[in-house]
Amino acid sequence: MSDWRADLRARGYRLTPQRELILEAIEELDHATPDEVLAHVQQRASSVNASTVYRTLDVLEDLGLIRHTHLTDRAPTYHAVGDHEHFHLKCRSCATVISVDVDTAGLLTRRLENELGFVADVGHLTVFGLCAECRESDGG
């Protein structure tokens, strides 16, 4: 994990207590919606409100410290940008989320680029299906 505190300061942003709490919440929760981040932060600082969380999430994403994806048809889900870019697999049965290295999608991304001239943002990708455990329990 990169040192996001140093990254934030190096880009000219102050490390406010609210930003620190929000970044820590994202790291601790792994994948979290803004409401989940807010609830986690308010356990430590009840004075932090929803608009602060949303504004901070936007700033942190603009700075490349976090990313969002869509694991549901509702709110985006945020996660810290770690040492490697990844995409997500989400089980429709048990709701498990699996992070997968982008190299796994190499054949697909190469074909998209070579055949269509399209460069995919795989880190924003979520593939929905059934995990191995749910497939086994369904007999298939």
pLDDT digit string (tens) for 8-54?
788 888 888 888 899 899 989 988 999 999 999 999 888 899 999 99
Q: Which domains does the chain have, with CATH numbers?
A: 4-80 (1.10.10.10), 86-137 (3.30.1490.190)
Beta-carbon contacts of residue 103 (< 8 Å; ≥ 6 apart) = none
Query: Who contacts 62 (Cβ-Cβ below 8 Å, separation ≥6)?
Result: none
Between residues 3 and 38, the one the model is more confident about: 38
- The residue that leads in pLDDT, 22 or 139, is 22
The answer, yes or no, to whether residue 5 has pLDDT greater than 90, is no
Query: How much is the pLDDT for 1?
Result: 42
Strand order in the sheet with 86-91: 97-101, 86-91, 126-129
